[in-house]
Structure 1
Amino acid sequence: MTDSSYAPIKVRADNRVYKAPLLGGAVPIGLGTIRLGLRLANGRGSSPGAGWPGMIVAILAVVVPLVWFAGGLALRRAKAAVALEDGVLSVRDRWGRLVLLTLESDVTGLHYVRIPVDGHKDRLVITSVDDAPLVLDTRLWEEEPLRRLFGRLTAPPAQAPVRQLGMLTWPQFRSRFPGAKVPWRQVHFWWFAIFVTILTIAYIAFFVNLSYFV
């Protein structure tokens, strides 16, 4: 009989944080799509409408990014994983790339920190003997398997200490965890927001003009 204390643990990605705002905004998105479609189809004031092509283009303008977003979530659910098996801890990102591979006994700490990122500042940093520190947003992983994983890492043979480090500035964070990677969009949130705003305006303008050439 297998000892449950040494059984493999696999933590899958949890997409509820991403899906919740999308589901909550389903009604406004639907109403906005209909309004945009009617405006493109019927025109406004002296601007002529594009007819049915305008309605079709408006629907596509909304459906395309939604399909892209849903596809990204499905890919992350299928590919991303944190696993502990046969004394080896591995972490794969949304593309299935291996971003951490270390022995369970080589884990040197679980560090809870708050860093200046996009409104969700709580992160967990896993440090090990040879690998670069790995930054995890624990909200994005299945809670119960992740709890069991941390329980294993803090028990023998790893006995990784748990540290509550509180708020760290970027210089403090980089000094304490050299080599730790945080996505550019989170480090430079306002620049990223400006870029997305410009891209959204250009995207809408493209589809509005496309409706008159279909």
Structure 2
Amino acid sequence: MSEETSTAQHASIKVRADNSVYKTPLIGGAPLIVLGTLRLGLRLDAGRGTSPGAGWAGLIVGILAVVVPFVWFAGGLALRRAKASIVLEDGTLSVRDRWGHLVRHSLEEDVTGLHKVRIPVEGHKDRVVITLVEEPPLVLDTRLWEQAQLQRLFDRLTAPPAQAPVREVGLVSWSDFRTRFPGAKVPWRQVHGWWFAAFVTVLVIAYIAFFVNLAYFV
């Protein structure tokens, strides 16, 4: 083995978060969001039919009603981009979440497998589950990470010293998923999709009602 090859095999790999899945539709829908924001603000300003408007306060509150969740969402993406990472360095695999918290810290050789699974969620179902000797499995939505660096990571984990096998599991039910990968964490909103949708619907209605009424009390 040449010195260059050996150096490449032991070079550190850092996979950063990729928010393109969220940013692309957000940027594409920006004109509609802006128009909708102005329409809501003007409606609260001038009123409609027999309903009186709230004046400038209504316009400001209407704009804030859209800007506040937009800033919150954009801030979350920026935080994830800055803090979330998967790093393989000096034979150690470290994973940090969107808050920068260390959620996995294992030896490279403790990786026991890369499992390609499809989980029962709406939309994108494909996941890669990395199993480890002592720590719970790590579930990755590969769309949310830098593709080139993630592939480098997978190539390293399937080579010595880990030599982790790659297994095609296919579509599994939640019960089968928990049996195969005990301790693996999947977001609650994905496991309980209908409950999450109902919760969001109620929250959105309450949010709109709050801001509409706020416009008349400012």
| TM-score bracket relative to the smaller structure | over 0.9
Counterpart position of 1:68: 72
Which residue of 96, 101, 107 maps to 1:103? 107
- Structure 1 residue 118: Cα displacement: 3.1
Q: 135, 140, 143: which is aligned to 2:139?
A: 135
Equivalent of residue 180 in structure 1, options 171, 178, 184: 184
Please state if 1:87 is matched with 2:116. Answer: no
Tell me what 1:55 maps to.
59
Superposition RMSD on alpha carbons, in Å? 1.1
**Structure 1 SS opposite 2:124:** coil
Establish whether residue 5 from structure 1 lines up as the match of residue 13 from structure 2.
no
* Paired residue secondary structure (1:110): strand
Secondary structure (helix, strand or coil) at the match of 1:155 reads coil
| TM-score, normalization by structure 1 | 0.97
The normalised TM-score by structure 2 is 0.96
Q: How many residues align?
A: 214
How many angstroms does 1:173 deviate by? 0.6
Unaligned runs of 5+ in 1: none
**Is the aligned partner of 1:160 residue 2:167?**
no
Q: CA deviation at 1:28?
A: 1.3
Question: Following the alignment from structure 1 to structure 2, what is the Cα–Cα distance between the partners of residues 178 and 15?
Answer: 28
Q: Does 1:199 find its partner at 2:203?
A: yes
Q: Unpaired runs of 5+ in structure 2?
A: none
Deviating 4+ runs (over 6 angstroms): none
Name the aligned partner's letter for residue 117 of structure 1.
Answer: V
AA of the residue aligned to 2:201: T
Q: Does 1:146 align with 2:150?
A: yes
Match of 2:32 among 28, 34, 46: 28
Partner residue in 2 for 1:123: 127
Aligned mate of 2:20, from 12, 16, 28: 16
Secondary structure in structure 2 of the residue aligned to 1:186: helix
Moved more, 95-104 or 153-162: 95-104
Identical aligned pairs, as a percentage?
74
- More displaced, 115-124 or 203-212? 115-124
Matched, 1:112 2:116: yes
